[in-house]
Amino acid sequence: IATNMAGRGTDIVLGGSIEKQISALRDDETLAAADRDAAIAEIRTQWQVLHDQVVAAGGLHIIGSERHESRRIDNQLRGRSGRQGDPGSSRFYLALDDALLRIFAGERLKAIMERLKMPEGEPIEHPLVSRSLESAQRKVEARNFDIRKQLLEYDDVSNDQRKVIYAQRNELLESDDISETVTPMREGVLHDTFRAYVPADSVEEQWDLPGLERALAAELLLQVPIVEWSRDEPNLRDEEMLARIVETAAASYAAKVEMVGADGFHQFERNVMLQSMDTHWREHLAALDHLRQGIHLRGYAQKNPKQEYKREAFELFERLLENVRGDVTRLLMTVQVRQQDVEETAPHAEVQNVRYQHADYDEALGTGDREASAGAQKPLPSGPKVGRNEPCPCGSGKKYKLCHGKLS
């Protein structure tokens, strides 16, 4: 007897399964080989009798208390009987209150039953019921198919973006030098910053050179005398000015690489790039999920939600790439390389025979500030021997074992 999903994927052997009993006998080392074979043969004989009785009775009979939304699952449940040539049968029982009948055919069947004045609980067997049920199942299957198809189309958008990000990430992991990637990113950030203050195809009166100079100094720690260039060279064009800024940034970056070493700085570049990409990708996935939850509301504005999702997802992805480019460039340009003094970095000599004392311990033992200021490396006088339970000579009022006795 199966309710909805139960019983699927189970091979029900007529007469019962005896494989566990046989395997237990084979693993029993206390039995002799002849006794083991005799016991297995006896089990098989008994099983054959039971199997014949079940076959004679008609085999396995499936009783279903409900029809599933999918005909495929109902057929799987029916398929538990009649396996490998065995006989079998199935029967499903439904009520007009079941979900499928209530949604698709309940009212019509109820009206028919009321007209015919059929008593409560009367079984109905008619092709009309079977056809109505199959029609309802087909409608539900078509709806579920449309849901899966729409879900796949939405997932394809993020999947295409995921392929781009993962391909670039794998390239970063496999390469030791990503200078060819970092240099265009730096030049792109400089170009965008420059055009924000010096628009293309504009006159000099529209240029904000002091603001550009402050922005480069604040965001990229790049000190460029742009105002001085413009004052000394009135005919300086914006393309030439941008080229000089790019050259200055490249020289400043090369100085950092030379100070640290190419191998060490390239490893730092790769780590910064990976961390920035991972962080922004996680934020991008959260933004896509948030966008997905409310994109269906665009339908009220007579817009296709799927197309709107694709458009906005593409805009979010472009913003992701811009954020990664800006963050990596700013961090690599503003990182400061400092060389510590040799004295600070040299390891301190290991000090041995160290004795920790109270501040008043020297006075109590007669070794005042004179000896401390002299700095002579003399062994401290041990003084008279103090008992464990006697007052500590430091004057703290505690027992010696609870005060300076711990240090010894």
111: pLDDT strictly greater than 60: yes
The overall longest dimension of the chain from CA atoms, in Å, is 121
Same domain for 102 and 14: no
Q: What pLDDT was estimated at residue 129?
A: 74
Same domain for 222 and 140: no
**Residue 119: pLDDT band with limits 50, 70, 90:** confident
**Domain annotation covers residue 195:** yes
Residue 201 or 193, more confident: 193
**Domain annotation covers residue 130:** yes
Q: Is the pTM of this model over 0.75?
A: no
167: pLDDT strictly greater than 70: yes
Digit-coded pLDDT (tens) for 275-328: 999 999 999 999 999 999 989 898 899 999 989 999 999 999 999 999 999 999
Q: Domain end: 305, 334, 363, which one?
A: 334
**Domain annotation covers residue 112:** yes
Same domain for 262 and 179: yes
| CB 246, CB 355: distance < 8 Å | no
Q: Domain end: 272, 306, 334, which one?
A: 334
Other CB atoms within a 10 A radius of the CB of residue 165 amount to 19
Rounded CA separation 210/142 (Å):
65
- The CATH number that applies at residue 312 is 1.10.3060.10
Rounded CA separation 65/6 (Å):
11
Same domain for 330 and 228: yes
6: pLDDT strictly greater than 60: no
Percent residues over pLDDT 70 in the chain? 85
**Residue 136: pLDDT band with limits 50, 70, 90:** confident
Q: What pLDDT was estimated at residue 161?
A: 93
**Domain annotation covers residue 275:** yes
Same domain for 277 and 130: no
Question: How many folded domains does the chain comprise?
Answer: 3
Strands (E), 9-164: 60-64, 88-92
Q: What pLDDT was estimated at residue 322?
A: 92
* C-alpha torsion angle, residues 393, 394, 399, 403 (rounded to 10): -130
**Residue 166: pLDDT band with limits 50, 70, 90:** very high
**Domain annotation covers residue 392:** no
Q: Give buried/exposed letters for 342-372 (b at 16+ CB in 10 A, else e).
A: eeeeeeeeeeeeeeeeeeebbebbebeeeee
Same domain for 203 and 102: no
Residue 143 or 380, more confident: 143
Average pLDDT over residues 98-112: 74
Q: What pLDDT was estimated at residue 369?
A: 47
Same domain for 184 and 133: no
Same domain for 328 and 180: yes
Same domain for 282 and 215: yes
Q: What pLDDT was estimated at residue 102?
A: 77
In the numeric block, which tokens belong to residue 152? 């796949």
User: 202's torsion region: left (phi>0), alpha (psi -120 to 50) or beta?
Assistant: beta
**Residue 12: pLDDT band with limits 50, 70, 90:** confident
Digit-coded pLDDT (tens) for 336-355: 877 665 444 445 555 555 55
**Domain annotation covers residue 406:** no
**Domain annotation covers residue 304:** yes
Rounded CA separation 29/284 (Å):
63
- The CATH number that applies at residue 15 is 3.40.50.300
CB within 8 Å of 299: residues ≥ 6 apart? 305
Same domain for 329 and 224: yes
334: pLDDT strictly greater than 90: no
Residue 110 or 194, more confident: 194
Same domain for 294 and 255: yes
Q: What pLDDT was estimated at residue 372?
A: 44
Same domain for 109 and 87: no
Average pLDDT over residues 33-42: 89
Taking alpha carbons only, the member of 133, 185, 170 closest to residue 329 is: 185
Q: Domain end: 334, 355, 375, which one?
A: 334
**Structural domain span for residue 289:** 175-334
Average pLDDT score over the chain: 82
186: pLDDT strictly greater than 60: yes
Q: Could you tell me how far CA 115 lies from the centroid of its own chain? A: 60
